[in-house]
Amino acid sequence: MTIREEQELREHKNLSPYASFSDESLGRDREEAQCDMRTVYQRDRDRILHCKSFRRLKHKTQVFLAPEGDHYRTRLTHTLEVAQIARSIARALLLNEDLTEAIALGHDLGHTPFGHAGSSRGPKAVSVPRNRGLEVVIIRPESMDDASEITDTLLSGKAIILNLEGINIEVKQRIIDYSAGSCYAIRGNLQKITNYMFVVTPPNVDVSGDIPELIADNINLNTFNNND
């Protein structure tokens, strides 16, 4: 009897009748020889863990271009946290921990760069109009519900002065994450001016000069140079 077969027997002996058993899997799209050590669900977990899409999670969604400190959550750390919680629940309910961990590790693969909203906005980020004359828009969101305006403005080829003054710090951070993710998706740029002011620009746009002074002088558009 192989190590895998011993594990499969232990599953039937120790797990709940409602659990998914490795030796009762419906199989894979492509037939493959069984491993002598690992069950099918363990192999699924390992494939996810070592795939390129899993490694890319460290750059997804939580894109902090101007973080305060080193302790912030990326999509990768989020996934590891989900896997830990999922395994704890599966263990308590006597379910298959290997299958649960595989599902948890794979639940965000292919995630868009700027959160769940990116699922609907992703296709629009493929082509961005590049106008000779650059327009600058001041946006002062009041909540996350207003964050989509930032993406829409970037996709229209306009630069943004983002004013987050007076917003709850958690909401502020979420809006910064969203804005940074939008920039990442279209290869734009986000620059911090103060703790609550940011310049967000579409591709091929550079910002030069003393930015705080520009804001104080009602934004001198001559300092926004379109490289196109």
- Count up the domains in the chain and report the number: 2
201 lies in the same domain as 162: yes
Domain boundary among 106, 127, 148: 106
100 lies in the same domain as 32: yes
122 lies in the same domain as 221: yes
Residue-by-residue pLDDT tens, the chain, 228 positions: 999 999 999 999 999 999 999 999 988 888 889 999 999 999 999 999 999 888 878 766 544 444 555 666 778 888 999 999 999 999 999 999 999 999 999 998 876 655 554 554 444 333 334 444 567 888 888 888 888 888 888 888 888 888 888 888 888 888 888 888 888 788 788 888 777 788 888 887 765 544 444 444 444 444 444 444
Range of the domain at 134: 118-226
Contacts for 10-15 with beta carbons within 8 Å, 24 or more apart? 11/39, 11/96, 14/94, 15/94, 15/95, 15/96
> Could you tell me the strand order of the sheet in which 159-163 lies?
136-139, 159-163, 197-201, 189-192
Inside any domain, residue 112: no
pTM score, two decimals?
0.53
96 lies in the same domain as 122: no
101 lies in the same domain as 58: yes
Nearest to 115 by CA among 177, 24, 192: 177
What is the predicted pLDDT for the residue at 220? Answer: 42
What is the predicted pLDDT for the residue at 142? Answer: 85
Q: What is the CATH number of the domain that holds 194?
A: 3.30.110.150
Domain boundary among 75, 106, 137: 106
∠ CA 175-179-181 to the nearest 5 degrees? 115
Nearest to 164 by CA among 70, 74, 66: 66
Inside any domain, residue 111: no
Pairing of strands 205-207, 159-163: unpaired
154 lies in the same domain as 208: yes
12 lies in the same domain as 95: yes
What is the predicted pLDDT for the residue at 69? Answer: 57
CB 192 within 8 A of CB 208: no
Inside any domain, residue 163: yes
Domain boundary among 74, 106, 138: 106
175 lies in the same domain as 198: yes
Inside any domain, residue 134: yes
Q: What is the CATH number of the domain that holds 89?
A: 1.10.3210.10
What is the predicted pLDDT for the residue at 113? Answer: 57
